[in-house]
Structure 1
Amino acid sequence: MLRSIVLFFAVAAAMLCSPATAQTPPDPGTLVQIAAFPSHEVETRPVTIWLPADYDPHGAPYDVLYMHDGQNLFRDRGAYGGNEWGVDEAVTRLVDEGRIRRTIVVGIWNTPQRLREYMPAKVFARLPDDQRQRVEILYQGAPLSDAYLKFIVTELKPYIDARYATARGPDHTTIMGSSMGGLISLYALAEYPQVFGAAGCLSSHWALFLPPDGELLPQADVDAIGAAFTGYIHDTLPPAGTHRLWFDHGDQTLDRLYAPLQEQVDRAVVERGWMPGRDWQSKVFPGAAHNEQSWRARLDQPLTFLLARR
């Protein structure tokens, strides 16, 4: 049974079932809800911390997985489209199976500034004037991603490390997200390789824009956006053998836009010397769409690659 702890007040609930007719499911742990995490860098926002059922504050330290769009991770209620990722259940099961390391998950909720906070600023700066102007119009302003990452690295992570039993080096700190959250996860690893040792980028919204339904991204945009991302990767991605990256996408809804750009990104990663299977993975999931159900269905794979037991 999931136990939620809300700062300043707690609500307890009990679920009754007949032991003769039902089995108690594995305890997926505890959610600690911070309603408004303060920051000097970005808007205050909720943060949800998931602690495994066996969490021992005095025991061996845990890895930490930081995830964007935190309201979509643990509960259907409040999640986009009413569908959660089931991260707590997935991590619990994979740890029990001995496939990943013991891990605490920190869900960072998004805000109305989501697009601006998740758009990599140094990639934005590499776009031609036309694409930069269109991004600013669509996203309602210039990127705020540098401030968002500074919030995570200098405010949120120190808070987590001070209050929980965490292993603090990059080998034990992973960041993950989907769509625009995939872009900011790659950016986090590239900008702070001394903090994040691995990044999961699911259905990364390389396209940046939203073409009309049924249409693909114009080739001029593919070329300009691809050059911006690959140039950034060539100049900034850490050396091979030190970090791990996971990329994936489907081929339905928005994900149908990503293959040409993902292929360019994959080539850039290879040109940096990263070895497939050891340093990074890039997978395509036929039939998968751009939604929480699709990401939940394949979540085991990035978790297992990024958090594999050593």
Structure 2
Amino acid sequence: MQTNGFPNDHFYVKLVPSGSHGEAFWRSEFKEAVLWLFSENVKIQPSEKPVAKEVKTAKLAGGKLMRVVDFPSNYIKPRNVDVWLPENYSATKKYSVLYMHDGQNLFDETTTWNKQEWKVDEVASKLMLAGKVQDFIVVAPYNIPAIRWQDYFPQKAFDYLNVETQKDIHAKAKENKFSLAFNADNYLKFLTEELKPYIDQTYATKTDREHTFVAGSSMGGLISMYAMCEYPEIFSAAACISTHWVGLMPMEDNPIPDTFFAYMSENLPSPETHKFYFDYGTKTLDQYYPQYAETVDIIFKKKGYTDTNYKNLLFEGADHSENSWQKRLDIPFTFLLKK
């Protein structure tokens, strides 16, 4: 366009890394395109503020569930974001905030793929009613199954692999038609630059690091760890449940776990201001995690973490499922949010 003499204000180019070739993406961009076409040198303005509406069909044990459908983002593919507000939520007081991944699996089993849920509203309500934890809200962006791995894999850790191993993994991924288009850095930009400002403007929150937490399971455990390391000024504690240390599918001579450990060794935040909770079971996919527990313990101890700000717990017989996670959810919640 420039070579053919078009002035910069006569054309507009936008790259959306997570954009895909389909109606959902085109719909998300259509308004901006029309406004630009019919504008008179008017600068593109940010999208309108997202609107959350109460989900009256959700079967909750307590509190209220609000939802933004297709939360707009310049970093990731739009997806729903649920916000759970505790019973008697009041705009006149301030609440801590827990960001939890895989939002569609947290509150209502009737809408999940496997008819299991974390029962976050039940557990959180009981803990708050008993006075064991701070009053808090839960912010829960959904995952998009087709790109969940790409959104959650700690992409800077991949750089710790040597070049030949990276080439080999890329070749195998191509052979199996699996995308290695890492997008975790953009996912975290979405959380910190787009979602958190919206939450803090819309709800009565304590906006400081001390009262901002992150949690998830499996790949969600990995991205929670990554969020703490990349944004230590925003998050103070993470719960990484059944953390998927294998990174990919379990395999012999897997080079991926060592990349996570090398990354953590160099990037863990200060134990004076941060806390980490990890756990793992022994059944189904969780059976591949105990072998890494000692390595994780060593890394954190070398960084100065102690029993007061670090846990890595074994749950014998627990499997890799929402049913297992909800049975012990009170433990990480209490560790993160204890009064």
- Same fold per superposition (TM over 0.5): yes
1:247 maps to what in 2? 278
* CA RMSD between the two structures: 2.1
- State the SS of the aligned residue for 2:338: coil
Task: Structure 1: state its 5+ residue gaps.
Answer: 1-5, 16-25, 212-216
Task: Structure 2: state its 5+ residue gaps.
Answer: 1-49
Q: 1:298 aligns with which of 328, 331, 334?
A: 328
1:273 maps to what in 2? 304
**Cα deviations by residue, 1:1-37 (Å, 9 ceiling, x for unpaired):** xxxxx96876757x9xxxxxxxxxx961110011110
Which is worse superposed, 193-202 or 228-237? Answer: 228-237
Q: 1:48 aligns with which of 79, 82, 95?
A: 82
- State the SS of the aligned residue for 2:221: helix
Distance 1:181 1:10, change over 3 A: closer
1:108 maps to what in 2? 141
User: Offset at 1:131?
Assistant: 4.0
Q: 2:63 is aligned with what amino acid?
A: G
TM-score by length of 1: 0.86
User: Offset at 1:243?
Assistant: 0.5
Is 1:124–1:132's contact at 8 Å kept on the other side of the alignment?
no
1:73-152 map, 5 Å: 73-111=106-144, 112-127=146-161, 128-129=165-166, 130-131=168-169, 133-134=171-172, 139-152=178-191
| Rounded Cα–Cα distance in structure 1 between residues aligned with 2:249 and 2:312 | 23
* 2:240 paired with 1:201: yes
**Cα deviations by residue, 1:130-158 (Å, 9 ceiling, x for unpaired):** 34554675752221000000000000000
**Cα deviations by residue, 1:174-207 (Å, 9 ceiling, x for unpaired):** 0000000000000000000000000010001111
1:28 maps to what in 2? 62
| Rounded Cα–Cα distance in structure 2 between residues aligned with 1:203 and 1:91 | 20
Is 1:124–1:228's contact at 8 Å kept on the other side of the alignment?
yes
User: Offset at 1:162?
Assistant: 0.2
Which is worse superposed, 243-252 or 138-147? Answer: 138-147
Q: 2:159 is aligned with what amino acid?
A: A
Is 1:117–1:148's contact at 8 Å kept on the other side of the alignment?
yes
Is 2:281–2:315's contact at 8 Å kept on the other side of the alignment?
yes
Count of aligned positions: 283
**Cα deviations by residue, 1:72-97 (Å, 9 ceiling, x for unpaired):** 00000222311110101111100111
User: Offset at 1:296?
Assistant: 0.5
- State the SS of the aligned residue for 2:220: helix
Is 2:52–2:67's contact at 8 Å kept on the other side of the alignment?
no
Distance 1:9 1:90, change over 3 A: closer
| Rounded Cα–Cα distance in structure 2 between residues aligned with 1:227 and 1:271 | 16
Is 1:135–1:209's contact at 8 Å kept on the other side of the alignment?
no
* 2:228 paired with 1:176: no
User: Offset at 1:269?
Assistant: 1.1
What percent of counterpart residues are identical? 41
Is 1:124–1:143's contact at 8 Å kept on the other side of the alignment?
no
Q: 2:327 is aligned with what amino acid?
A: A
| Rounded Cα–Cα distance in structure 1 between residues aligned with 2:212 and 2:286 | 27
1:54-69 map, 5 Å: 54-59=88-93, 61-69=94-102
TM-score by length of 2: 0.79
| Rounded Cα–Cα distance in structure 2 between residues aligned with 1:8 and 1:163 | 9
- State the SS of the aligned residue for 2:111: coil
2:104 maps to what in 1? 71
| Rounded Cα–Cα distance in structure 1 between residues aligned with 2:183 and 2:267 | 19
1:9-20 map, 5 Å: none
| Rounded Cα–Cα distance in structure 2 between residues aligned with 1:49 and 1:123 | 30
| Rounded Cα–Cα distance in structure 1 between residues aligned with 2:227 and 2:265 | 15
**Cα deviations by residue, 1:239-259 (Å, 9 ceiling, x for unpaired):** 222101000010000000111
Larger radius of gyration: 2
| Rounded Cα–Cα distance in structure 1 between residues aligned with 2:55 and 2:68 | 14
**Cα deviations by residue, 1:205-255 (Å, 9 ceiling, x for unpaired):** 1112224xxxxx31x21xx33321121111100122210100001000000
Distance 1:100 1:139, change over 3 A: farther
